[in-house]
Structure 1
Amino acid sequence: MSEVPPLPLDRGSSVPLAVQLADGLRAAAAGGTLRPGDRLPSTRALAAALRVSRTVTAAAFDQLLAEGWVAGRTGSGTYVTALPVGLPDDGARDAAAGAVRAPDRDGVPAALDPGRPCVAALDRAMWRRAWRAAADPEPDDAPRPDGLPDFHAAVVEHLLRHRGLTPDAVLTTAGTSAAVAELARLLPAGARVAVEEPGYRRAVSALRAAGLRIVPVPVDDDGLVVDAVPAGCAAVYVTPAHQFPTAVRMPANRRVALVERARAEGFLIIEDDYDGELRYDVAPLPLLAALAPDTVVHLGTASKIVSPTLGVGWALAPPPVLAAWRDLRERTGTRPSPAGQRVLVALARHGDLSRHLRRLRRELRERRSTVLAAAAAAGWTAHGDPAGAHLVLRGFPGTEAGQVAAAAGRGITVRGLAGYHEGPPRTSGLVVGHAAGTRADLRAALTRLTG
């Protein structure tokens, strides 16, 4: 089908035109006007027929692609792949968002645990196209400890476009956790490393496994308390763009204070920028690596913005650290797999990665709003920056442990802040991730959590 189905738009409504259009297309599918296999009009043709801007039609198509019931085919157009079921009269958008259920790899409905990416936002045609392109180069006949040059070029462009950073050199990694484990082996045995409390447990485990001494430093509403970092540390591990797990952002004055201490005392800052591309309100603050490339190791990953299937990330570091890192890899044979690098290169080469990030930000913003609405309806409070894919809920009845146990009894996995501490918990709350599964999975899990 290439003709435009009846799609009435109310320009006087408070509902954005793109949302109305997406709702109308879903309703057309539910009513039988559109069927699986039908080709939708192009965004340009639809915009002309409805007398709206192409921005409106493109946003509506992006939303439907993210929900998974339409798919794009290169050089052919966008096609209906499944039908929404049982749309209520005034709730078409909510029901349709969960029409195509996307179970996780174990076939279990989405949980509310944080750290999982929103693979529902991936355009499957884009994904398949990138994997096919990744298979075009001839197989390597020698290892590449630094990573592929094309991957480095793609990362440089990505960091400039989305993080405002212009690195001189890039080292490929297998992700941020793997990078921390490698970095830990470059620090003196038994050295003290300051970590956020509460903080990312995998990074702490990687540091401890290398024989380093862990020094927990409290986190407040502005992230790591820089004045509480003790003297004599070899490194400080931080997540300043979106602290994990409290979801707060480190302000500029505290970033400057941390950099000044690092330079004065000679310690290394490990900046884990695991989801720094995912901001919804304003442009992100300057990265620590931009403020002090001489003392900051910056770590990024494709796991949260695309999928852990790729198993790739990147590191920027001062030249002496990069030299020691390369030497470690030469001696141990450690190196990242090139397959995921080639897929990311293919995604970046044709603009698919940037388009995906725009779609992903819109999707996660909507999901965050769903969590906020559910919390407000239950009388709970939500905390965290408008960024990333998790936030913290407080104000619930009873204790954190009781809420976690009650959720488990209802079949919902949710984590409490207590589990992210080295010692006795300093704060409490439920760390709620909202990226996994479909929107319908999210709404169902939130209903059971707050019910």
Structure 2
Amino acid sequence: MSDTALPVSLDRDSLVPLAVQLADALRAAAGDGHLRGGDRLPSTRALAHRLGVSRTVTSAAYEQLHAEGWIAGRHGSGTYVTTTPPADRPSKGPAPGVAAAPPTLVDLTPGVPWADGIEKAAWRRAWRAAADPRPTYREDRAGLPAYRDAVSEHLLRHRGLAAGTVLATGGTTAAVIELAGAVLARGDRVAIEEPGYQRAVQAFRRAGMEVVPVGVDEEGLRPDAVPADVRAVYCSPAHQYPLGSRMSASRRVELVELARAEGMLVIEDDYDGELRFDVAPLPLLAALAPDVVAHLGTTSKILTPALGAGWMVAPSPVAAAVLEYREGTGTRPSPAGQRVLAELARHGDLGRHLRKLRRELSERRSLVSATLTSAGIPVLGDDAGAHLVVPCGSAPEEAARMAAAERAGIRLDGLARHFAGTPTVFGNLIGYAGCSREALHSALKPLLAVLG
């Protein structure tokens, strides 16, 4: 492509440096189709002459795009576009006879991470570094050593757990499926919090287990309600999902003693245990009783589900059974997300992101909570995580709130769908991580009208 064909113009009165303007313009040209992967760019000298700027400007812009991976130089040939950067393209409207897409709702459902907060340069650097190792034909069923080392350090620093054997997993639900296949048997009874995480419920049921719902309250799961004949107990003690309470110290001890006495396995889902804002992250059940607790963690709430990476710390017999299950089924967690997490940890980007994430979500929770409570609307849940609960009295009221919110351009969730049995508690869950802060602010006024 000739330099004269490039739709580039620079504003010399702008406070934005010319090199930054030029890099942005070239990205935009690729985003709207003027440039495509494989197109040859003009030389820095030719482009500088065409734009009437110094070669320092064009060289700096090219260096930035090269560092980001969008362009590459070929010796003796020139500089080429390697791939097309994502960019907003002008809307052409729906085709004749095709209905326009509905307006985008502000997503205030729980379980969505603050993925927009991931620092772009760190994200790109981690993915580039993750692609450096040569492809391997050897399968590491336990997970990549660098990833397991990074998780061990993460658990010690952020969760106070001196982990023994760490296994990589594909995330919490994938780990539950593996435990069901490796450790439990069809017909076994499994106790699960009610309300609770329904994907875990479905994973156990589809593996042939009988799910036994166990009630929770402001102190978390009730160990006194756990039947003695269950083989496993699944719970989220650090931040109960979805009600948001934490298991008291006395109940933790009671649950561990029950598990030891009855030969139960406690499956601890620590899906967002790093995200506490009032006190330090609570000690793990796995630290209290590593002999009877399988600890599960995930990157899906602190980073993004796109990595498909989690971890398991379990008693040696359980870990060995999981590895045997993987060998027998030919399965293993994907190494791609493991490599990215290991690189983020190696450069210190994971720790910096967690500190940033806690600050952001703490401020968002305070904003939502203060707005609701000042209007006389009650709020449930600890000062932690990425969602809170607004209770109500009935299933029809819960459903009516959700419908009214959607009409106001807001997507909410309800407690009723988080029950494995008949719902007994009702309310709406408000997630505050999945949208921009601006969108969150704009949703608060209509939200008050819906919930008030």
Return the TM-score normalized by structure 1. Answer: 0.76
384-393 or 135-144: bigger deviation:
135-144
Amino acid at match of 1:417: L
- Structure 1 residue 322 corresponds to structure 2 residue 319: yes
In 2: Cα distance, 1:328 partner to 1:396 partner: 45
Amino acid at match of 2:156: L
In 2: Cα distance, 1:432 partner to 1:38 partner: 42
In the TM superposition, what is the alpha-carbon distance from 1:167 to its structure 2 partner? 1.1
In 1: Cα distance, 2:340 partner to 2:403 partner: 40
Match of 2:338 in 1: 341
In 1: Cα distance, 2:419 partner to 2:434 partner: 24
The equivalent position to 1:290 in structure 2, one of 287, 291, 300, is: 287
The equivalent position to 2:169 in structure 1, one of 165, 168, 173, is: 173
In 2: Cα distance, 1:344 partner to 1:141 partner: 21
**1:340 match: secondary structure:** helix
Match of 1:420 in 2: 418
In 2: Cα distance, 1:36 partner to 1:165 partner: 47
The runs of at least 4 consecutive aligned structure 1 residues that moved more than 4 Å come to: 36-39, 395-398
- Structure 1 residue 307 corresponds to structure 2 residue 304: yes
In the TM superposition, what is the alpha-carbon distance from 1:410 to its structure 2 partner? 2.2
Amino acid at match of 1:426: T
Q: Given that residues 273 and 282 in structure 2 are in contact (C-alpha distance below 8 angstroms), is that contact kept between their aligned partners in structure 1?
A: no
Match of 1:28 in 2: none
- Within 5 Å, which residues of 2 pair with 1:216-295? 216-295=213-292
Amino acid at match of 1:420: H
Match of 1:376 in 2: 373
**1:402 match: secondary structure:** helix
Instruction: Compute the RMSD of aligned alpha carbons.
Output: 2.3
Q: Given that residues 110 and 430 in structure 2 are in contact (C-alpha distance below 8 angstroms), is that contact kept between their aligned partners in structure 1?
A: yes
The equivalent position to 1:353 in structure 2, one of 350, 372, 379, is: 350
**1:207 match: secondary structure:** helix
The equivalent position to 1:159 in structure 2, one of 151, 155, 159, is: 155
> Could you report, residue by residue, the CA deviation over 1:8-38 in whole angstroms, capped at 9, with x for unpaired residues?
xxxxxxxxxxxxxxxxxxxxxxxx9954779
Match of 2:114 in 1: 118
Match of 1:441 in 2: 439
> Could you report, residue by residue, the CA deviation over 1:229-249 in whole angstroms, capped at 9, with x for unpaired residues?
111000000000000000111
Match of 2:33 in 1: none
Larger Rg: 2
In 2: Cα distance, 1:107 partner to 1:117 partner: 22
In 1: Cα distance, 2:192 partner to 2:222 partner: 11
In 1: Cα distance, 2:144 partner to 2:200 partner: 25
Match of 1:135 in 2: 131
Amino acid at match of 1:405: A
**1:429 match: secondary structure:** strand
Amino acid at match of 2:161: L
In the TM superposition, what is the alpha-carbon distance from 1:352 to its structure 2 partner? 0.6
In 1: Cα distance, 2:407 partner to 2:18 partner: 41
Q: Does the C-alpha gap of structure 1 residues 279 and 191 become closer, same or farther in structure 2, counting only changes over 3 Å?
A: same
The equivalent position to 1:429 in structure 2, one of 427, 430, 450, is: 427
Identity %: 58
In 1: Cα distance, 2:253 partner to 2:389 partner: 26
Match of 1:147 in 2: 143
5+ residue gaps, structure 1: 1-31, 40-72, 77-99, 101-105
Q: Given that residues 104 and 409 in structure 2 are in contact (C-alpha distance below 8 angstroms), is that contact kept between their aligned partners in structure 1?
A: no
Amino acid at match of 2:292: T
Q: Given that residues 187 and 208 in structure 2 are in contact (C-alpha distance below 8 angstroms), is that contact kept between their aligned partners in structure 1?
A: yes
In 2: Cα distance, 1:344 partner to 1:446 partner: 34
388-397 or 283-292: bigger deviation:
388-397
The equivalent position to 2:193 in structure 1, one of 176, 191, 196, is: 196
Match of 1:50 in 2: none
In the TM superposition, what is the alpha-carbon distance from 1:284 to its structure 2 partner? 2.2
In 2: Cα distance, 1:38 partner to 1:341 partner: 35
Aligned pairs, number: 358
In 2: Cα distance, 1:36 partner to 1:450 partner: 43
Q: Given that residues 252 and 285 in structure 1 are in contact (C-alpha distance below 8 angstroms), is that contact kept between their aligned partners in structure 2?
A: no
**1:255 match: secondary structure:** helix
In 1: Cα distance, 2:19 partner to 2:372 partner: 39
